[in-house]
Amino acid sequence: MEYLLQRWEEGEHAATALEFAALHERLHADLMAHARKPGTREEFGEDRVVPAADALLRLAFARLTKPGVVVLNAALLSVVDGYIQEIGMAERDDVDLAGYLGVAAAKHSALMAAACELGALAAGASRNQADHLRRFGDDIGLARKHVDDVLALHDDLVDGCRGLPLVAAAAGAGDGRTWCEQQAELLLARGLGHLRQAGPVEADELAGFARTVATGRCAAVVPPQPAGR
C-alpha cells in the first residue's frame, strides 16, 4: 500500500509539473504572437505575464525529483530552441520543408514526450518502457501539430502565415493539406507501435486518446440531416 501511495504521489507531482510547464510555455507563446492576435499580453500586460510564467516554471521544477527536473529541462530547452530557429526562419526565404519540420518537432513534441516519460517513470516503468513512451509522446505531439496546421489553414492564408500545409505545397509535396494528414497518420501509427512495445496496462485507452487529439480531429464532419430523409 505504501508503494502504491508513493507512486500515486509521484504521478500527481509529475502531472502538476507538466501542467505548470505547459502554461509557462503558453504564456510565452502568447507574448511572441501578440503582433498577429490578442492574448495575455493585451489582457494583463507584459510586466505581469513574464513574472507569472517564471513563477509557474519554478513551481513545476519544485514538484519533481532530480531525474524529472533533467527530463523537463531538456524538453523546455528544445521548445526554446524551436522558437529561436523559427525567429531566424521568419527572415529567410530559403528554408526548406525539413527546416519547418525540425521547428515543429522542437516546439510541439518535446513537452508531450516529457509528459509520457515522466508519467511512465512515476508509475514504476522500466527504462526501456519509459523510452518507448517518450517516443510515443514525441510522435503524437508532431502528429497533432500537422493536424493543428491543417485546421488553421484558412486563417494562415488570411494572415499570411506559413503553416505546414502551405510549406509542404510550396516544397512540391502536392496538396499540402493531404500531405499533412498523411504524415499525421504515419506518425500516429509509429507512435502506437512504440506504445505497444512499452506494453502499459492502459495501452488501449492511451491509443484512443492519441487518435482523438491527432488524426481524429481531421475526420469529415457530416451535417445533420433533416428528419425523414
Amino acid at 91: E
CB burial string 59-95: b at 16+ within 10 A, e below: bbeebbeeebeebbbebbebbeebbebbeebeeeeeb
Query: Can you state the angle between helices 176-198 and 127-151, rounded to 10 degrees?
Result: 160
Residue tagged 519509459 (cell numbers): 130
User: pLDDT value at position 128?
Assistant: 94
User: pLDDT value at position 223?
Assistant: 42
User: pLDDT value at position 88?
Assistant: 85
Q: What mean pLDDT do residues 22-45 have?
A: 69
User: pLDDT value at position 7?
Assistant: 67
Q: Which of 27-36, 39-48, 83-92, 144-153 has the highest average model confidence (pLDDT)?
A: 144-153
The CATH architecture of the domain made up of 96-218 is Orthogonal Bundle (1.10)
pLDDT band at 4 (very low <50, low <70, confident <90, very high): low
Residue 37 has pLDDT above 80, yes or no: no
pLDDT band at 202 (very low <50, low <70, confident <90, very high): confident
Residue 1 has pLDDT above 50, yes or no: yes
Residue 181 has pLDDT above 60, yes or no: yes
Task: Report CA-CA distances (Å) from 121 to 31, 79, 110, 114.
Answer: 33, 22, 16, 11
Query: Can you state the angle between helices 110-122 and 2-32, rounded to 10 degrees?
Result: 170
Q: Compute the C-alpha angle 115/163/170, nearest 5°.
A: 135
Choose between 7 and 184: higher pLDDT: 184
Choose between 44 and 74: higher pLDDT: 74
User: pLDDT value at position 196?
Assistant: 93
Task: Report CA-CA distances (Å) from 135 to 36, 107, 130, 221.
Answer: 33, 15, 9, 30
Contact 119, 14 (CB under 8 A): yes
User: pLDDT value at position 134?
Assistant: 96
- Burial classification of residue 149, based on how many CB atoms lie within 10 Å of its CB (0-12 exposed, 13-18 middle, 19 or more buried): buried
Task: Report CA-CA distances (Å) from 60 to 25, 48, 148, 223.
Answer: 12, 19, 26, 43
Read out DSSP for 150-207?
Answer: HHTHHHHHHHT---HHHHHHHTT-SSHHHHHHHHHHHHHHHHHHHHHHH--TTHHHHH
* pLDDT tens digit sequence for 45-73: 667 888 888 999 999 999 998 999 999 99
Residue 17 CA to residue 118 CA, distance in Å, equals 10
Q: Compute the C-alpha angle 222/224/227, nearest 5°.
A: 140
Residue 168 has pLDDT above 70, yes or no: yes
Task: Give the residue extent of every domain in the chain.
Answer: 96-218
Average pLDDT, the chain: 85
